[in-house]
Structures are given as structure tokens and as C-alpha cells.
């Protein structure tokens, strides 16, 4: 079994946000390296229960070993977290005290070159979090239209050179398929003007992020998961979500605001006619971010933001 080393971000802040207690019931929608799961189980001892989701079988196998001491208190679910409501219901694991999400790709997925998530390794263009699905990054790069590629790069990667990158990809794939991470990274670099790539992160970073999001339908899955997670929470239960880029954070922020919103009648109405009442309250008005010390120790935590909501 491959190693699955992952530094958990905002560990104490996130676990404490869902108020772990003895006998509580919790769902970790992003098992990953099991850091949050382990702390949740520890802080809800001796009888707290956990349902843990992950699309990645290697993460689940690693977690089974790491969490052996908590056998009988944790169930593992190999599924996309968009199915949280159905999977929790099937296991009679509803009316839970807390749900948490740690979004993005786990460090091992970046660091295992053969997964194809990173431009740092020469590997097949894959990027599937769940290897049971058929769509890969190579399929998108080689089959999608120039206009659709440009849209993906701009919308999901906020790449301002999305059009010239898409144009060069289409021109190159007419000669031969583009099937490796290094070839794609070189194409992206060639399509971006030299002055724009002299500083900042690797020029392919935004394109690789966009492809990963598209391959795994991450934003669509997140929207569904937030609704499902709120559905399985009991009144007084809390949901905590860590995001790593603006697209995710915007979805979480707007979903939480909508749940916490009361009357939506025009301000000149003398009395409320909509009947809309808040379904939740915002625990964090502004997102919690990592301390300077955590960022220094784990640079990947730099863009993390934690938002928390409580069901009424």
C-alpha cells in the first residue's frame, strides 16, 4: 500500500467548530489523510461515532490502518461526498451533530506522480479522484472544442490567457494526442507571453487546477454536498468547510448566507409576506484563516479559509 502522508490544515479550529462531544455523531466528507477524522474520534470519545467519505481507495485503506484504535466507532464510505444524504440515510446515520469538509486535493494525490494531478511530474494526464469514473484530463484536452477548453481554463482556473492556450492545444493535438502532464505544461508555457511567466507560480498551475475541477465536477459536487450535509444535520448541529480557492469559497459563502437569510420581501413592505425564516445562523461572519506559524510550517495552507454554520 502506498504511503499517504498529508498535513491537516486548520486541524483544531475545524474540529472544535463542530463541538465534538462524547456520544456525538459526525461526518467527515473528505477523509484524506484522516487527520480531522482522528481528532474528531479522539474528542468525541469514548462513544462518539463517525461516518467518513472519500473517493480515493488509497485514502480509505490508509485510514483503516491509522484509525484501528477506533474500530467500531467509524464507518468508511467509498463515494463522492455529493451523495452524502443518500449514503447517510442508507446507513441510518442522520440527525448528526457535525459535518466537516476539507476541500481540494490531498498532498499524496499531488505528490504521487502517476495520478497526473501535477505538472511537477511526467505522467499520464489522468486527474481522476475516483478511478472508477471514465472521464480523464486527457479526454478533455484531446476531445473538447477550443471554445469549451478556453471556458474551462477561464472559469475554473481564472486563466487570463485561456484562449491562446486552448488554441495552441487544438493545433498541437491535430498532429498527435496530448497525453502527458509534461507535454501539456510545456504547451501552456509556450502559449503564455514571456513577460507574464517571469514571476509568480508555474504558468501551468491555473490550467491544471481548472482541468482537475472539470474532470471531477468539483464545484457541482460541492453545491450538492452542501445541501445534502445540511439535510442530515440535526437542529443545533454544525457544518464546517475549509476551502482553498475563490471559486469554492464563493459557493460556500453564498450557500451559507442563503441558509441564514430571513425575510426577502422588498424593504418598503410594511409586513413580511414571504414567510422566509432563517434555517441556520452563521458561526463565522468572516472566514477563519491559518496562523502565520501554520503557513510557515505548511505553505499549502496559505489559501485555506474556514466557514462554519449552525442549523436552527
Model pLDDT, residue 110: 60
DSSP code string of 47-106: T-EEEEEES-HHHHHHHHHHTGGGTTSEEEEES-GGGHHHHHHHTT--SEEEEEEE-S--
Model pLDDT, residue 117: 77
Smallest CA-to-CA distance from 108 within 225, 12, 232, 7 is with 7
| CA–CA separation, 146 and 152 (whole Å) | 10
| CA–CA separation, 32 and 220 (whole Å) | 20
Smallest CA-to-CA distance from 74 within 101, 104, 44 is with 44
Q: Domain boundaries in the chain?
A: 11-108+218-311, 133-216
- According to DSSP, the β-strands at 96-102 and 25-28 are parallel
Element at 256 (helix H, strand E): helix 246-260
133-216 topology per CATH? DNA polymerase; domain 1 (1.10.150)
Phi/psi for 280 (5° steps) reads -155, 170
- Classify 11-108+218-311 by CATH class: alpha beta
- Give this prediction's pTM: 0.90
Q: What is the pLDDT of residues 239-257, one digit of tens each?
A: 999 999 999 999 999 999 9
Mean pLDDT by 10 residues, the chain (312 residues): 67 97 98 95 98 92 96 97 98 98 72 71 90 95 98 96 98 96 95 88 91 95 98 98 95 97 87 90 97 93 96 98
Model pLDDT, residue 7: 77
Amino acid at each position: 500500500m502506498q504511503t499517504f502522508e498529508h498535513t491537516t490544515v486548520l486541524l483544531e479550529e475545524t474540529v472544535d467548530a463542530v463541538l465534538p462531544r462524547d456520544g456525538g455523531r459526525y461526518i467527515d466528507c473528505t477523509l484524506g489523510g484522516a487527520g480531522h477524522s482522528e481528532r474528531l474520534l479522539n474528542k468525541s470519545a469514548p462513544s462518539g461515532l463517525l461516518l467518513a467519505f472519500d473517493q480515493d481507495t488509497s485514502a480509505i485503506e490508509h485510514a483503516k490502518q491509522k484509525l484501528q484504535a477506533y474500530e467500531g466507532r467509524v464507518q468508511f464510505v467509498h463515494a463522492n461526498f455529493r451523495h452524502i444524504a443518500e449514503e447517510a440515510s442508507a446507513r441510518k446515520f442522520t440527525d448528526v451533530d457535525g459535518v466537516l469538509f476539507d476541500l481540494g486535493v490531498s498532498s499524496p494525490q499531488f505528490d504521487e506522480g502517476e495520478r497526473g494531478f501535477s505538472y511537477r511530474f511526467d505522467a499520464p494526464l489522468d486527474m481522476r479522484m475516483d478511478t472508477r469514473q471514465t472521464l480523464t484530463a486527457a479526454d478533455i484536452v484531446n476531445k473538447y472544442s477550443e471554445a469549451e477548453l478556453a471556458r474551462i481554463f477561464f472559469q475554473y482556473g481564472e486563466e487570463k490567457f485561456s484562449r491562446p492556450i486552448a488554441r495552441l492545444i487544438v493545433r498541437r493535438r491535430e498532429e498527435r494526442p496530448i497525453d502527458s502532464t509534461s507535454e501539456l505544461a510545456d504547451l501552456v508555457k509556450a502559449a503564455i507571453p514571456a513577460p507574464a511567466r517571469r514571476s509568480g507560480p508555474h504558468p501551468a498551475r491555473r490550467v491544471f487546477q481548472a482541468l482537475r475541477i472539470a474532470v471531477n465536477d468539483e464545484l457541482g459536487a460541492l453545491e450538492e454536498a452542501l445541501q445534502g450535509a445540511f439535510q442530515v444535520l440535526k437542529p443545533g448541529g454544525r457544518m464546517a468547510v475549509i476551502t482553498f480557492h475563490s471559486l469554492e469559497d464563493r459557493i460556500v459563502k453564498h450557500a451559507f448566507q442563503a441558509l441564514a437569510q430571513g425575510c426577502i420581501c422588498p424593504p418598503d413592505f410594511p409586513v413580511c409576506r414571504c414567510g422566509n425564516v432563517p434555517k441556520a445562523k452563521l458561526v463565522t461572519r468572516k472566514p477563519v484563516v491559518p496562523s502565520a506559524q501554520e503557513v510557515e510550517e505548511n505553505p499549502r495552507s496559505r489559501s485555506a479559509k474556514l466557514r462554519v454554520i449552525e442549523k436552527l
